Structure formats: structure tokens, C-alpha cells
Amino acid sequence: MMDKKTATIDSRPQTMNRPSSIVHRPSFVKATLAIVQKDLSAEFRSFELISAMLVFSLLVIIIFNFALELDIKVRESVTSGVLWTTFAFAGTLGLNRSMSVEKDRGCMDGLLLAPVDRSVIYFGKAISNLIFMLIVEVIVLPVYSMLYNVNLFRLDLLGVILLGSIGYAAVGTLLSTMSAQTRTREVLLPILLFPVAMPVLLASVKACNGLLTGAEFSEVLTPLNLLIVYDVIFIAIAFMVFDFVVEE
């Protein structure tokens, strides 16, 4: 009885020709969390992605150290730039990997066949990408603090980094889904992503810089607002257009 009811309420066409009474349609949140859980448990078994992102981040920081001669004077003004460059590059690495794994192992087709809304797949992937980025950031920040003797573990700073990462993961997930289906794949993602994600990166750098140099809060507020606006707009758009980038 209940099953029949849910099936009739749901007017969307079923993806498979199974009798609709068998199809169990999980709630939006549950289904999203299931995808996140799948990604996380797969990752925590091997740590393939996170370890690659981490090692890469540390290497980038080391290169910056010598390229920019990060002495105490310079450090204060470039820290946020160095951090965000690192996060952006590491982020692309992770985004590329997490999507091409889905594609190569045919998981994407499986996900598409699942009786869930397409946007569930988007949010699931975006959240797990975000979590990977955050894990890397949470490890990189104390290491950077230690190496350069600046305290980066501040709540306001973490908040800005979280907002920036959300925007970056939101656009990145959408674009990596697209780039994974092209001929050039990995090469294409940064080219597609960086110009579109430019507002996130610049606003985050600006806000972090303001916080680190102890600027007045009103100065930080404008980039922060733009960051929030960007996050909201792009999550909404990605939510609306994701259907079009996974359609077969």
C-alpha cells in the first residue's frame, strides 16, 4: 500500500522498467549521504586521493618558499595567496581523480541508473569533494603555521576557507563532470575551472589577507559577502544544470 502510494505521488518517470512498487525511492538527504558515504569509505580504504593531494600541497608550499623567499616581511602579505593557490591546485587534482574514477569504473552509469534524482548525485559528489578538500586544508594549515610560525588556526579564517572551498567544490564538481566526458579530460579541468572560479579564489584571498593582516572587519566584509553570493548562485545553477551534463 505504502509503496504504491509513493509511486503514484512521484510523477517522474522511473529510470528502469521495474514494476514501480518494487522501486524504493530514498529521501533526498538519505540518498545524498549514501553517495558521500560511498566516496568516503572508498577513500578511507586506500587514502589514494587525499594522500596525493596532501603531498602535492606540501610540495607546492615548499616551492613557494623558495620562489617567493618567504621571509618574515613578505610572509604576512602573501600567506593567503600561497594558501589559496595550493588549495586550488590540490583541489583540481582531487576533482579530476574523483570524477575519472567514477567514469572509468563505470560507477557513474550505476549512479545514473539508481532511482534517485540527478541532483542527488551532484550534491553527493560535491559534498565528498568538499570533504576531501577540507581534510587536506585542515592538515595543511597547521603544517604551514608550524613551518612559518604564523597562527592560521583561527575561527574566522577557517570560516572564510570553508566558504571558499564550498564555492570551489560546487563549480568544480559540475565542471569536472563535464571534463571527464571530453577527449582531453584531466588537461581540460583547470582550464575550464580557473577562469570561472576566479571570483571565489580572489575573494577568498582578499578576505584571508584582510584577516591575517588585521584589517578592519568592514574591509573583510565585502569580499566575504561576494563569496557568499557566489556560493549561493553557483550552487543553485549547478543544481539546475547538472541534469544536462550527465544526460546520455
Residue count at the site for another protein (CB under 8 A)? 33
Query: Closest CB to another protein among 216 and 247?
Result: 247
Query: Closest CB to another protein among 57 and 165?
Result: 165
By the 8 A CB rule, do 184 and 208 touch? no
Torsion sign, CA atoms 213, 58, 185, 125: negative
By the 8 A CB rule, do 163 and 224 touch? yes
- Of positions 203, 208, 211, 235, contacts another protein by CB under 8 A: 203
Counting contacts by CB under 8 A, is residue 62 touching another protein?
Answer: no
Counting contacts by CB under 8 A, is residue 182 touching another protein?
Answer: yes
Reduced to 3 states (helix: H, G, I; strand: E, B; else coil), residue 57 is helix
- Of positions 62, 68, 147, 196, contacts another protein by CB under 8 A: 196
Using alpha carbons only, give the angle 101, 118, 6 rounded to the nearest 5 degrees: 130
Counting contacts by CB under 8 A, is residue 221 touching another protein?
Answer: no
Counting contacts by CB under 8 A, is residue 229 touching another protein?
Answer: yes
C-alpha 130/C-alpha 133 separation (Å) is 5
Query: Closest CB to another protein among 94 and 223?
Result: 223
Query: Closest CB to another protein among 59 and 232?
Result: 232
Number of Cβ atoms within 10 Å of the Cβ of 198: 11
CB of 236 to another protein, least distance (A): 10
* Cell representation of residue 222: 565585502
Counting contacts by CB under 8 A, is residue 169 touching another protein?
Answer: no
- 65-73, 97-105, 107-115, 168-176 -> range binding another protein (CB under 8 A): 168-176
C-alpha 135/C-alpha 71 separation (Å) is 27
Counting contacts by CB under 8 A, is residue 184 touching another protein?
Answer: yes
- Of positions 84, 87, 168, 234, contacts another protein by CB under 8 A: 234
Cα dist from 234 to 94, 111, 189, 242, whole Å: 20, 23, 17, 11
Helix axes 118-148, 48-67, angle to 10 degrees: 40
| Site residues (vs another protein, CB under 8 A) | 171, 174-175, 178-179, 181-185, 188, 191-192, 195-199, 202-203, 206, 222-223, 226, 229-230, 233-234, 237, 241, 244-245, 247
